[in-house]
Structure 1
Amino acid sequence: MAQSIFITSAEGHSGKSTVALGVLDALSAATPKVGVFRAIARSTLERDYVLEMLLGHDGVDLAYEECVGVTYDDVRADPEAALATIVERYKAVQAQCDAVVIVGSDYTDVGSPAELAFNARIAANLGAPVVLVLGGRAAQGQPEQLGSSIPRTAAEMGQIASLALAELAHGRAELFAVVANRADPEQMDATVSAINQAIGASAFGRSEAVPIWTIPEDRILVSPSMRGVQRAVEGELLSGDPTLLTREALGVVVAGMSMVNVLPRLFDGAVVVIPADRTEVLLAALLANASGTFPSLAGIVLNGGFEVPEPVMQLLDGLGSSLPIITTDYGTYETTLRIMSTRGRLAADSRSRYDTALALFEQNVDTEELRRAFGLAEATVVTPLMFEFQLIERARSQRRKIVLPEGSDDRVLRAAATVLKRDIADLVILGEPIEVRARALELGLDLKGAEILSPFDAVYVHKFAEEYAKLRAHKGMTVERAADTVTDVSYFGTLMVHLGLADGMVSGAAHTTAHTIRPAFEIIKTKPGVSVVSSVFLMALADRVLVYGDCAVIPDPTSGQLADIAISSAATASQFGIDVRVAMLSYSTGESGTGADVEKVREATALVRERQPELLVEGPIQYDAAADAAVAAAKMPTSQVAGRATVFIFPDLNTGNNTYKAVQRSAGAVAMGPVLQGLNKPINDLSRGALVSDIVNTIAITAIQAQEVSPT
């Protein structure tokens, strides 16, 4: 029977979707099958964006239709029948999951105690304890700032808590925790105290304390995206990069004046409303945005329905600006009013907003306490999502500085923003600082915590050239020639790691494997006792994590190299918390086969046992005998590895590369890597098709490797 938790609020716009996402993420890190359920949706005609966002979370495998209880119309027509339907539909979801996050109604009409009372009845009937979300903001604040509002005092928060708790108690709901969301940062302690007093005076007052968490406001979460602005004004994208519509609009500049008076009023993240017949102001805004000396805009809205003249369109095409320009038929007043009335939506298509929500939750809510209070038993399986969470937690525990040489790649910048937002590692990004920061602003990314460094910086080039010339003196390298070499980003980044200016490097999104690792061979070199640099993939299957090596570096290893690969792979597996049982793979198991390929594996296995007698290793062994307990029982019944192997060593690159890709595609495994091993310091390669999540995982892996090199 799945455990469940019900997230509700006493009013609209409390930000409970942020809390729901955070709770879902925290539970997903501890149990394999987490589901979501939306008790009351707005309608059947329009899909619920909060539910879609939660269903998009990694590890949630449910269809939208089965996760909706009823609509508001159903509740108004017959509350008792609606409640029965909610219970029935929830039970179907519950049967498929270990834990379920239930999200209450959204207060689409005027909020009233009656709506919270109905949410309390739902929670009681589902047997789900309630997380009560209290909104820390009230009426609108400064009109030019989108999403701005007035913070509530601690006393006001206590009053709201008292009213809400009374309704929950009347509905016989169980209180799990209270979250004061968008709380005033200057009144955090006072807010907790006021809410605690309200709990003590309510029917929920008890000897054990109810957890109370406060989450401060972040403007990114309450400001609309440019896509939201486009929807609000019913506009069309005239020009610009559609991918930049995910950027948040932090405020409005109404450009109903001359160009010289508009320019001083621009600010970062502004959406500029310009009458479509004021083309000189349009061009001035575009040039200002491109200049690098004015703030970076979120977008432009041309209002009034006037057609942009053809010569101006030609000029726009010639400028090649990526800034979104939206056209609408509404007048200036109506356009501005619609934009100001637009609220930010927490949706999966805005990675910046998604990361911000998770980071806020992680930084302000004790997720360990949440899981402990929820009573989740320790899982016996490890899902890909659980393993990724463990990686991030390990990396975060002892932050390391990782250099990213490919600052011109948008995927790298997006991954960097995620890493910084979630405190996974410190970063150095290589590239021209003005260009990197300008592109990050265009993408709506916050890279303030990163060091951005030009590979042509004269001070570093001189220092690195001298070091590289010294390292390669035996090859006839001179300082003059070295000065040209070290401006290559892979050499520059590797030398940073070599000299201790960074703890590790992740590259390869825009470069070949050879380009990434050649400098490491020349500069970082191999660990003592290791003759070769090799690689593994961490293969996260549905219920466990395996290690595959070598799948990326050595085409046809000798028996000695194969032994090195096995020993290095075992060490890597241990480093990432995997119980080590090594299978030396071949087309033959035990003593049954002969031939040069089998003998190579047999010799390699003997070398591993000689060099690491405590290591559990078996070989030669076929994959089925290594992975399947039934086959192992028939072929190698006394083996401690057969049927239980966790580290699979392939006889050559052809076999290893094809096998990992076959398992990745056919079994839906998450392949993390290649993780390079055998180097004195961590350098890791990316696939040129790497996704942002792949880059984030590889940065976390590299940071963990760096912890082993230089523990603190």
Structure 2
Amino acid sequence: MARSVYVAGLGPGVGKGTVALGLVELLSRQVARIGVFRPLVSGDGDDPLLTLLTKRYPVVAPYAESYGVTMAEASALVADGRWEELISRIVERYREVERHAASVVVIGSDFVAAGGAKERDEIPRELGFNARLATEFGSVVVPVISGDGRGAESIAAAARSAYHSLVDLDATVVAVIANRVPEGVGPLPDAGLPVPLWSIPSVAAVAAPTVAEVAAALDATVVSGGEGALDRDVLDYVVGAAHVPVVLDHLTDGALMITPGDRADLLLAASAAHAAGNVTLSGLVLTLGEPADPRVVRVIERLNTGLAMLIVDADSYHTIAAASHIQARLGTSTPRKIEAALGAFEENVDTAELARVLDVARSSRVTPLMFENDLIDRARTERRHLVLPEGTDERILRASETLLRRGVADLTLLGDPTEINRRARELGVEIGAAQLIDPAHSPWRDDFAERYAELRKKRGVSLDLAYDVVRDVNYFGTMMVAEGLADGMVSGANHTTAATIRPAFEIIKTVPDVSVASSVFFMLLADRVLVYGDCAVNPDPDAAQLADIALSSARTAAAFGIEPRVAMLSYSTGSSGAGADVEKVAAATALVRERRPDLPVEGPIQYDAAVDPAVAATKLPGSAVAGQATVLIFPDLNTGNNTYKAVQRSANAVAVGPVMQGLRRPVNDLSRGATVKDIVNTAAITAIQAAAL
């Protein structure tokens, strides 16, 4: 088993940050205690990639303990000929991280020795330095080579060279990754290596700087534009110096237009072209320190472009010269770039094979991060098609971009396509791979109306009424799922729970052996994941319904890798109390045992006896469930809803759900306060449910 994997970049600008990020994401699904380490960081001790990894993942050591030495310290030691002392210091710091971690990802150095040696002389020294450290750490090595400007044969040759160069230095290489491979380069030829060779294509959303990065590099003043505007990717630069028609011909999607502030005609024309959807710009840069005329700014504001406007003191020539050398960097301020990088890694690297060659044993403990990352991984494995009815909601659009970039699901967004695209342009999100459908004008509307009228004819629903009903986005989306045009639906960001799930009850209905549809929340606590049911749907289930909820919840838990041990909750443990509510829980427990004698279940039982081994030892000694329950079934909605919210707020738990269960096809509800992360998690769960049918 590899305790440590060393990511070594062969040459500058290979993009090893993408590979390091992908590896940490992969290992976070396998182990509960993960470490990251950089042998060297910049002179001021500020490393954006290391900051990102230590903040995004619950690593075992904080940033200050996750690197060896600063570049300045390293240069001083090398200048004095104290190489062994440098190695010793780095190894000592690494061992402190390794001591507390089940697995460590090491991001190799970008060391440049003092004295200004040329790059061709530095790369061998860099390679030897990293190989030496990998050997001292006991790490296996994943070298990263650049595919930029290379063809398939050249990349294969570079991979062979990287492998043999490291092996000759006594490093243990387990895979080679070619990054930033140009578009159009076909499958790589057999490089004749005994280890896997994977290629990651150049992705503009990863390689391109954001407007914020351009602003920082140019020391620009941000005149207008919020966080979303500054997060746009800059894919091209256009200098505004010609007449309007000529400049319009040269504007491209993702372009940052650079022009003097007094060119009101170009500023208005570019903004209007963006607002009209002719082109999607990334922003505007005004040169010569000249602000735009306030009258022009007012017009641009009315166009509601969502673009950032920057001002720099330099002229256009020097501005474009400086901008063209700006390199993108993965960091905490670039969340969209992170998702794009992970998407590129996961789509092009066989993560199952990589996990195998790393031979990392999966932890028996399931942490919240492991659970969430496992959701994404499982959904990607059997990709399904989901419909999201709330297509113009900002959170839905941002989540859609993440879902598409990570390959979690194919998507259909409902709503006016013109409005959806306008909102996407305003937000700077990319949803081009999603299908957009307006229920009011869809050719499916007639068929859906006929089908719905047939289903609800006993309720007096006429064809005319059905035609109006299926225009509603939730009914239309549910009909898509029922007719096999989508595998599942996620809604509720700006609809009530009733509005989301009522169509499912009417159209999809429950599976044959379940009398009632219900829901669960996955409660992601600091050290475990629990399943709470039912906290969202059934106000006061009777004993038979409560048994159905318990059985459905146990199946849901098992489907998501949680061993079901079911606690039927009450204010009484065993026979310590009496009353109608206790009797209902006791009867439900008996039904569960009758229908699933193989399922560990205990009830009636109090919450503390269900989850606390010390309490369980006193109240129910010898129970297979008490003290270690994973599925907790509440006797009614009042108890369940209040408990999950109390635990969520007081224990800082993440509540994923409600996840519907018992339906023939998956439809899941969102809280109206759902975050983008909540939507991504729920969509992944829905895709997994669909794949299990």
| Partner SS, residue 256 of structure 2 | strand
**Residue in structure 2 matched with residue 128 of structure 1 by the alignment:** 139
1:263 matched residue in structure 2: 248
Deviates more, 1:417-426 or 1:676-685: 417-426
Q: Deviations over 1:477-518 (max 9, x none)?
A: 222233222222111111212222212110011212122112
Give the corresponding residue for 1:387. Answer: 371
1:596 to 555, 577, 580: 580
Q: What is the aligned partner in structure 2 of residue 657 from structure 1? A: 641
- Distance of 1:5 and 1:260 partners within structure 2: 54
Q: Decide whether the 8 Å contact of 1:36 with 1:55 is kept in 2.
A: yes
CA contact (8 A) 1:40 1:105 kept: yes
Contact in 1 for aligned 2:156/2:188 (Cα 8 Å): no
- Residues 672-691 of structure 1 aligned to structure 2 (within 5 Å): 672-691=656-675
Letter aligned with residue 662 of structure 1: A
Return the offset for 1:557. Answer: 2.4
> Residues 297 and 632 from structure 1, CA distance in 2 versus in 1: closer, same or farther, beyond 3 angstroms?
same
SS in 2 for 1:679: coil
Match 1:193 to one of 170, 173, 191 = 191
Residue of structure 1 in register with 2:77 after alignment: 78
Aligned-partner Cα distance in 1 for 2:426–2:189: 37
The aligned counterpart of 2:42 is 42
Match of 1:534 in 2: 518
Give the aligned CA root-mean-square deviation in angstroms.
Answer: 2.4
| Contact 1:240 1:321 (C-alpha < 8 Å) held by counterparts | no
Partner of 1:205: none
- 3-state SS of paired residue (1:557): coil
- Given that 1:2 and 1:97 are in contact with CA atoms closer than 8 Å, whether structure 2 keeps it comes out as no
| Structure 2 residue identity aligned to 1:158 | A
Q: Aligned partners of 2:106, 2:433: CA distance in 1, in Å?
A: 35
Q: Is 1:181 aligned to 2:185, yes or no?
A: no
Query: In structure 2, the residue corresponding to 1:210 is in which secondary structure?
Result: coil
Partner residue of 1:334?
A: 318
Paired residue for 2:392, among 391, 408, 411?
408
CA 1:458/1:27 → structure 2, altered by over 3 Å: closer, same or farther?
closer
Q: Give how far 1:168 is off.
A: 6.9
- Kept in 2: contact 1:346–1:354 (CA 8 A): yes
- SS of 1:56's equivalent in the other structure is helix
Q: Which residue of 2 aligns with 1:244?
A: 229
How far residue 78 of structure 1 moved from its aligned partner, in angstroms, is 0.8
Aligned to 2:109: 105
Secondary structure in structure 1 of the residue aligned to 2:440: coil
User: Residue 397 of structure 1: CA displacement?
Assistant: 3.2
* 1:37–1:191 CA distance, 2 compared to 1 (3 A): farther
Shift of residue 41 of structure 1? 0.6
Please list the CA deviations of residues 394-435 of structure 1 after superposition, one character each: whole Å capped at 9, or x if unmatched.
Answer: 323333221100111122122222222222222111111122
Matched, 1:551 2:535: yes
Question: 1:281 matched to which residue of 2?
Answer: 266
**Inter-CA distance 442–61: structure 2 relative to 1 (3 Å threshold):** farther
Please say if residues 116 and 164 of structure 1, whose CA atoms lie closer than 8 Å, have aligned partners that are also in contact: no
Aligned with 1:660: secondary structure?
Answer: helix
| SS of equivalent residue, structure 2 residue 439 | coil
| Separation in structure 2 between the aligned mates of residue 460 and residue 163 of structure 1, nearest angstrom | 55
> Which residue identity lines up with residue 498 of structure 2 in the other structure?
A
CA contact (8 A) 1:2 1:94 kept: no
Measure, in 2, the Cα distance between the counterparts of 1:605 and 1:218.
54
Corresponding residue of 1:222: 207
1:193 to 1:161, Cα distance in 2 relative to 1, 3 A: closer
Q: Distance in 1 between matches of 2:217 and 2:34?
A: 34
**What is residue 706 of structure 1 aligned with on the other side?**
690
For 1:310 and 1:443, the matched residues in 2 are separated by 24
Contact 1:188/1:214, CA 8 A, preserved across alignment: no
When residues 363 and 50 of structure 1 are mapped into structure 2, their CA distance, relative to the original with a 3 A threshold, is same
Question: Aligned-pair distance for 1:225?
Answer: 0.9
> Could you tell which deviates more after superposition, 234-243 or 485-494?
234-243
Amino acid at match of 1:244: A
| 2:18 alignment counterpart | 18
1:116 and 2:101 are equivalent in the alignment = no
The CA deviation string for residues 494-544 of structure 1, in whole angstroms up to 9 with x for no partner, is 121222221211001121212211222222222324332211012233443
Separation of aligned partners in 1, 2:448 and 2:572 = 50
Structure 1 stretches of 5 or more lacking a match?
Answer: 138-149, 197-208
Deviation (angstroms), 1:115:
2.9
Matched ranges for 1:320-331 at <5 A = 320-331=304-315
Q: Classify 1:187/1:300 alpha carbon distance in 2 versus 1 (closer, same or farther; 3 Å).
A: closer
1:63 aligns with: 62
**Deviation string for 1:148-200 (max 9, x for gaps)?**
xx335634763686378547744x44433322222346656556527x4xxxx
Q: SS where residue 271 of structure 1 aligns?
A: strand
TM-score (norm 2): 0.93
Q: Output aligned runs, 1:438-517, within 5 Å.
A: 438-517=422-501
- TM-score, normalised to structure 1's length? 0.90
Change (3 A) 1:615 1:285: same
CA displacement at 1:442 relative to structure 2: 4.1
Deviates most, 183-192 or 503-512: 183-192
The letter of the residue matching 1:358 is L
After TM superposition, the structure 1 stretch with the greater mean CA deviation from structure 2, 395-404 or 578-587, is 395-404
**Are the structure 2 counterparts of residues 307 and 420 from structure 1 closer, same or farther at C-alpha, using a change threshold of 3 Å?**
closer
- In structure 1, what is the Cα distance between the partners aligned to 2:144 and 2:395? 34
Q: Secondary structure at the match of 1:687?
A: coil
1:627-642 equivalent positions in 2, closer than 5 A = 627-642=611-626
Match of 2:3 in 1: 3
Q: CA deviation at 1:382?
A: 1.6
Aligned partner of 1:481: which letter?
Answer: L
What is the CA deviation profile of residues 134-155 of structure 1, one whole-angstrom value per residue up to 9, with x for unaligned ones? 1122xxxxxxxxxxxx335634
Q: Which AA in structure 1 matches 2:281?
A: L
2:198 — aligned with what? 213
Deviations 1:413-471 (A, max 9, x none): 22222222222222111111122233334444332332110121252332222222232
In 2, Cα distance between the equivalents of 1:485 and 1:187? 50
Give the 3-state SS of the residue equivalent to 2:177 in structure 1: strand
**Range with bigger deviation, 519-528 or 253-262:** 519-528
Please list the CA deviations of residues 630-677 of structure 1 after superposition, one character each: whole Å capped at 9, or x if unmatched.
Answer: 332332224322223221101122221222223333444332210112
Structure 2 Cα separation of the partners of residues 700 and 296 of structure 1: 29
Matched to 1:551, the amino acid is C
Structure 1 pair 495–68 and aligned structure 2 pair: CA distance change class (3 A): same
Name whichever of 431-440 and 91-100 sits farther off: 431-440
Q: Which residue of 1 aligns with 2:564?
A: 580
Contact residue 481 and residue 487 of structure 2 kept, 8 A? yes
Distance 1:377 1:72 in 2: 35
Greater Cα offset, 244-253 or 468-477: 468-477
- Length, aligned pairs only: 681
Q: Return the alpha-carbon distance in structure 2 between the equivalents of residues 499 and 393 of structure 1.
A: 27
CA deviations 1:5-26 (Å, max 9, x no partner) are 2212231101111111111111
Structure 2: runs of 5 or more not aligned: none
Deviation of residue 276 (structure 1)?
0.6
Shift in Å at residue 368 of structure 1? 2.4
SS at match of 2:35: strand
Q: For residues 78 and 58 of structure 1, do their structure 2 counterparts lie closer, same or farther at Cα, with a shift above 3 Å needed?
A: closer
For 1:441 and 1:449, the matched residues in 2 are separated by 14
Tell me what 2:92 maps to.
88
2:52 corresponds in structure 1 to: 53
